[in-house]
Amino acid sequence: MRNPLAYIAERWTPSQRILQRAILASLVMNVMIVVTGGAVRLTGSGLGCPTWPKCTDDSLTATSEMGFHGAIEFGNRMLTYVLCAAVGWAIIAARSTKPHRRDLTKLGWLQFWLVMGNAVLGGIVVLVGLNPYTVAAHFLLSTTLITVATVMWQRAREGDAAPRPLVGKAIQQLVWFLTVAAGLLIAVGTVVTGAGPHAGDSSEVHRIPLNWEDVSKLHAVLAWIVVSLTFALWFVLKAVDAPPGPLRRTRDLFLILLAQGGIGYVQYFTDLPEVLVGAHMLGSCLVWIAIVRVVLSLRERPELELSLPAQGEAHLTTAR
């Protein structure tokens, strides 16, 4: 049986604009499903559908008797299919590009399998009664998915030549310190969520046995470390007269961090209102996307140059 992707690729070639928009759509949907998943938890709808893969033991979909919480939880599950469609569209566009971009196609398929894995993990979250450790793993896997989507989006805007560094090794090491600190910041943020008051359901749900205020303070310390490293990176890039790409990406990251920090402090001192917690989850996704873009901005990948024989060599070959 013929590969349907190859069949489509023979008959259609997307423009660069269509390719980038298809990949961007998958990235946006990855962020959106994180935000809607947060809405499920913040509205206490985590067990709106008490089982998985069906919504109830007798119904695949939410029923009217399940009310608001059932509709919220089932709606979030349906968004997984929208995400799959967006990722599928990105895979088709990448596969149909001429010449074939194998790296983009592989990144698209990696997204697809991560979506499938996270869907199964989401089902496990429901089956174990919103265990906070599985909820944290669910979010971290979503962050991994956002990482792949961001890399794919950036690669679609580059060529296929070998990467060339734009900055020195000292700056690269500083960026990796920044990346590790940001990863720890997000990981500790999931612990704050697991120990905090928004358990995801109105029933008694197990929480991580830590004082969430103490963990929040550790989270704030890590946030200040990330902000400080970002400012130091911007200062060093300016001092060495770095190319505009890394400077712009670092500036964007710094502004997003300031906004995210402001939301974090306001929500802490206002007893964690649901709207601000949801905005903070969106901010977490945007911070990580900005981090990945900073990392990718440290090198460039121009288009491959076709090596043609010199004119003299061509004449010699013809004469022979």
Residue with the bigger pLDDT between 217 and 198: it is: 217
pLDDT the model gives residue 243: 92
Burial class (CB in 10 A: 0-12, 13-18, 19+), 251: middle
Q: Indicate the pLDDT class of residue 307, thresholds 50, 70 and 90.
A: very low
Average pLDDT, the chain: 89
pLDDT the model gives residue 320: 46
- How is the chain split into domains, by residue range? 1-160, 161-301
- The encoded tokens of residue 168 equal 């020195």
Residue with the bigger pLDDT between 110 and 49: it is: 110
H/E run at residue 72? helix 67-96
Residue ranges with strand state E in the chain:
164-165, 299-300
Longest alpha-carbon distance in the chain = 87
pLDDT in tens, 9-42: 888 999 999 999 999 999 999 999 999 998 898 8
pLDDT over threshold 90, residue 312: no
Q: How many CA atoms lie within 13 A of 282 on its CB side?
A: 14
Average pLDDT over residues 235-241: 93
pLDDT the model gives residue 305: 56
Model-level pTM?
0.90
Q: Which of 66, 67, 69 is nearest to 42 (CA)?
A: 69
Residue with the bigger pLDDT between 102 and 310: it is: 102
- The encoded tokens of residue 172 equal 């690269």
- Does residue 206 sit in helix, strand or coil? coil
pLDDT in tens, 260-288: 999 999 988 998 888 999 999 999 999 99
Contact status, residue 218 vs residue 210, Cβ threshold 8 Å: no
Contact status, residue 70 vs residue 43, Cβ threshold 8 Å: no
